[in-house]
Amino acid sequence: MGLSVQTFDIYMDTDPGAGTGARLLLEGRNAALKKGDGWDYAVWVEGWNQKVLRPDPAGRPVESSGENVKAVVDAAQRAVTLRVPLSLFGKGADPAKWGYAAALLSQDGFPAAGVRRVRDVLPQAAQWRMGGGPADTVHTRIMDLAWRTRQRRPSPDFEQVFVVAGQPGQPYPG
């Protein structure tokens, strides 16, 4: 496919601002959407897995069955296109009205437990580990983010959209 160390998450909120859906991002991301926002669908793509997920009633991600995501890699253009059938989102779905957030992480084939195959970020870089993280256990593994707010333009303030990690030694907000 052409992907090996990249992981992409795309979070879709079908009714932005209504407070439905899950606030916590996928396992290992250690980040959450602010109160009032929540994702109803997530697309998780890496070299070995391409899945659509929905939160269960408790907010835990559940993978959809079947092959429903196609990733197309154009190395010359340095681009990845993800294709998901509109029918997967139900009759009358209008993605033009949805809220979106996209995260870039690093894939790990031998990850720590419970982090959905994403690489750890440590204070100092090491073999197969990113550097630059704080010396705690609750920081995010997200490398980059993009999102569209209800105003349909990028938010100038990351903290308006996301809550990332907690205080050192404390769990991130749920």
pLDDT per residue, tens digit, the chain (174 aa), is: 677 789 999 999 999 889 899 999 999 999 998 888 899 999 999 989 999 999 999 999 999 876 689 889 898 998 889 999 988 888 899 999 998 999 999 999 998 889 999 998 889 999 988 898 888 878 889 988 887 655 555 444 444 445 554 444 444 444
Place of tokens 């109160």: 35
pLDDT reported for residue 152 = 53
pLDDT reported for residue 62 = 95
Tell me the CA distances in angstroms from 165 to 95, 140, 174, one per residue in order: 29, 6, 10
Rounded distance between C-alpha atoms, residue 134 and residue 122, angstroms: 7
What does pTM read for this prediction?
Answer: 0.84
Rounded distance between C-alpha atoms, residue 67 and residue 116, angstroms: 18
The candidate with the shortest Cα–Cα distance to 146, out of 54, 10, 6, is 10
DSSP state of 96: G
Helices (H), the chain: 158-161
